[in-house]
Amino acid sequence: MKSMINKYIFGNPINTCAVEDNIPESAADQIQHIGLSSDRMHISYRMDDNDIVYGLGEQVRGINKRGWIYDNCCTDDSTHTEGKHSLYGAHNFIVIDGKEHFGLFIDTPGEVRFDIGYSEQDILEIGLKEPGYSLYLIAGSSAADIVHQFRILIGKSYIPPKWAFGFGQSRWSYMNENEVREVADRYRQQHIPLDSIYLDIDYMDHYKDFTVNEETFPEFQNFVGEMKSRHIHLVPIIDAGVKKEDGYPVYEEGKAKGYFCTDSDGNDFVAAVWPGQAMFPDFFQPAVREWFGNYYRTLTDRGIDGFWNDMNEPAIFYSERRLKKVFEKIEDYKGRNLDIQSFFEFEELIGSISNSPEDYEAFYHMADGRKIRHDKIHNLYGYNMTKAAAEQLRVLVPDKRVLLFSRSSYIGMHRYGGIWTGDNRSWWEQLELSVRQMPSLNMCGFLFSGSDIGGFSDDATADLMMRWLEFGIFTPLMRNHSASGTRRQELTEFPEMAADFSNIVGLRYMLMPYIYSEFMKAALTDTMYIRPLAFDYQDDQRARSVEDQLLVGESIMIAPVCRQNAVGRYVYIPEDMKMYRFRSETDFDTEYYHQGEYFIPAELNEVLIFVRPDRIVPLAWGAESVEQLNTDRIRIMDYLKEKAAYQWYDDNGEDIADSLQSGIRMIEENSSGEINIHGYEGEITKI
């Protein structure tokens, strides 16, 4: 099928800036593949039995999205179970891969429902809430081709500095400088590599953005420098809600300039988040983005070079209005004999205080030159907060990459930052979910992504942490994060496992030349770093249904172990492969597998990496930080059948990179297994 994108515009959509390529509009009466309702609010398609539906980025359930309803509406919900319908991102892109091959991108800032065979098993029905939208229909020869075209359409993915590919330690509740220092000390003492420590809301003064608590972090700039001298970057959180407090410059300035969202009468819209009453910058206005983004200077000036933007759906604990209503209703229940009906109503009432649709309907933005009610453009709020940061960081730190990722997102934001998948739980099934989310996120442009390793809420066990790390060493963002009040899950908190943790995290550093090279190639050529097997083995019916193994870059396949107490797992090998079983960078063995299905043992401290025929994986000798990695000595993992070649990309990891050319070195292996790396004079060892 000819590769082609058609764009259709319905109503008067606001410009989401998701798409970079300005392609001409096609006539709606010539629309192919799909059915459109007369009011244009419903799109339908009859799926063939063997069709796979990919996409939707950050969502619940499988890589194949068939069999559920997904409501794309950015939601602050910390229970990511399969009964849910939306998470923090809204990524309205799907690919139908089967009898026909085409992709659909619904570009609208409002909520969209994807009923993919839920109401009727073979019917895909997309329902829009807001009338104005652009529809992109992408025809192509395969899922990979469609995703590639889509990625060109939406523009290049964000690239972080190289150090951000190192391991990061985070926890909500590092209360002071000393606690952070101790975390660093313990990692360094136990020789577990570490590149960053994240500062959650407790570094701030009363949760006020762009402040530092001077009592608990008295010499912040020196502290940032001290950590940097130990090759550890501190990464502070920034929240969307700005504390309403007289004398606090961000609030006063924002208010004086009219930069916060207002209600229907033009009065301040006030709602509570961490600091209590807060106001929400109207990130849709360029001037507001510039103003807010410029505040990141307060931290970059002190040596900070990475940020995570949070609570930007935006999350709302309560508004006074909503709270008042709930209290009034509670009065009604007082003294009553609560029966089945009224008890559940009562219970639901309390649960409905946070993130209430009523609140999202109560404030307004100036977007695209018009006053628009928040709920109509809700999905773009976090996106625009991160855009604000990225746009100004470019000005504040010209020519250098800064780490930036967000909780809430919409397609288009992938150009400005990465994402993490929010408040997951320390459950085995959430590890499996993160395995399935990564390729879907890649399809939507979010290459720099990862989940909270070990799980955010609930208590992690050492074995869960280990298995999660064994997957996390392949995700570009590799961060251990947990909620305050849960069991501590820094890797140093499990002394009996310290050596194994050090070895497994060490593998990430060993793999860094390959991971970085593959990430950069994916980002700069609009391809996927992590893919489902079916993207490369599209005619292999068995490979098409595999949801728990992934291709990482061009050379390897992974099969993470996601079950507690498992001593191994079944692995589908789609073509002959050579498997490396790593316990550490020096302790490993290899096995060869023919195409087929096998039960492969994998002890708790073992990582299985499957190398494809005639592919090459460049490896470094591990180090305790990315900066200390040395590529003067390179090791090569390979599976030679005839001859192999690999384009190895590398750069200094901090300059803005917009093309591959200057950083590519060719690695070639001839039929006798001799390896030559063009322009490379270091030591080469095959393993």
Please report, as ranges, the residues that interact with ligand GLC according to CB under 6 A: 172, 200-201, 237, 310, 407, 422-423, 481
Q: How far is the CB of 130 from ligand GLC (least distance, A)?
A: 27
Q: How far is the CB of 482 from ligand GLC (least distance, A)?
A: 8
Q: For the beta carbon of residue 196, count every other beta carbon within 10 angstroms.
A: 24
Instruction: Give the burial string for 9-24 (b: 16+ CB within 10 Å, else e).
Output: ebeebbebbbbeeeee
The Cα–Cα gap between 160 and 414 comes to 12
Q: How far is the CB of 28 from ligand GLC (least distance, A)?
A: 40
The Cα–Cα gap between 524 and 534 comes to 23
Q: What are the C-alpha distances in Å from 102 to residues 60, 384, 425?
A: 22, 29, 35
Structure tokens at 483: 């909620």
Q: How far is the CB of 411 from ligand GLC (least distance, A)?
A: 21
Q: How far is the CB of 679 from ligand GLC (least distance, A)?
A: 43
The Cα–Cα gap between 143 and 103 comes to 8
Q: Is the CB of 200 or the CB of 536 nearer to ligand GLC?
A: 200
Residue nearest to ligand GLC (CB): 172
Structure tokens at 267: 């009065």
Q: Is the CB of 367 or the CB of 483 nearer to ligand GLC?
A: 483
Q: How far is the CB of 88 from ligand GLC (least distance, A)?
A: 8
Query: What residue type is 82 in one-letter code?
Result: E
The number of residues making up the chain comes to: 687
Structure tokens at 403: 């780490």
Beta bridge partners of residue 599, listed in sequence order: 570
Q: Is the CB of 231 or the CB of 481 nearer to ligand GLC?
A: 481
Residue given tokens 């190192």 in the structure block:
166
Q: Is the CB of 59 or the CB of 170 nearer to ligand GLC?
A: 170
The Cα–Cα gap between 161 and 517 comes to 13
Q: Is the CB of 80 or the CB of 162 nearer to ligand GLC?
A: 80
- Evaluate whether 367 touches 287 at the Cβ level (below 8 Å): no
The Cα–Cα gap between 433 and 610 comes to 21
Eight-class DSSP state of 592 = E
Q: How far is the CB of 407 from ligand GLC (least distance, A)?
A: 5
Eight-class DSSP state of 27 = P
φ and ψ at 209, to 5 degrees? -50, 145
Cβ neighbours of residue 93 closer than 8 Å, sequence gap 6 or more: 55, 56, 57, 103, 104, 105, 150, 411, 443, 444
Q: How far is the CB of 454 from ligand GLC (least distance, A)?
A: 13
Structure tokens at 162: 């190289």
The Cα–Cα gap between 228 and 627 comes to 11
Q: Is the CB of 13 or the CB of 314 nearer to ligand GLC?
A: 314
Q: How far is the CB of 201 from ligand GLC (least distance, A)?
A: 4
Q: How far is the CB of 467 from ligand GLC (least distance, A)?
A: 21
Q: Is the CB of 59 or the CB of 142 nearer to ligand GLC?
A: 59
Pairing of strands 306-310, 233-239: parallel
Q: Is the CB of 296 or the CB of 420 nearer to ligand GLC?
A: 420
Q: Is the CB of 313 or the CB of 500 nearer to ligand GLC?
A: 313
Q: How far is the CB of 666 from ligand GLC (least distance, A)?
A: 42
Q: Is the CB of 241 or the CB of 412 nearer to ligand GLC?
A: 241
Q: Is the CB of 484 or the CB of 676 nearer to ligand GLC?
A: 484
SS (H, E, C) 615-668: CEEEEEECCCCHHHCEEEEEEEEECCCCCEEEEEECCCCCECCCCCHHHEEEEE
Q: Is the CB of 61 or the CB of 407 nearer to ligand GLC?
A: 407
Burial of 29 (0-12, 13-18, 19+ CB in 10 A): exposed
- Evaluate whether 518 touches 529 at the Cβ level (below 8 Å): yes
Q: How far is the CB of 171 from ligand GLC (least distance, A)?
A: 8
Cis-peptide into 109, omega within 30 deg? no
The Cα–Cα gap between 134 and 176 comes to 48
Q: How far is the CB of 179 from ligand GLC (least distance, A)?
A: 15
Q: Is the CB of 407 or the CB of 569 nearer to ligand GLC?
A: 407
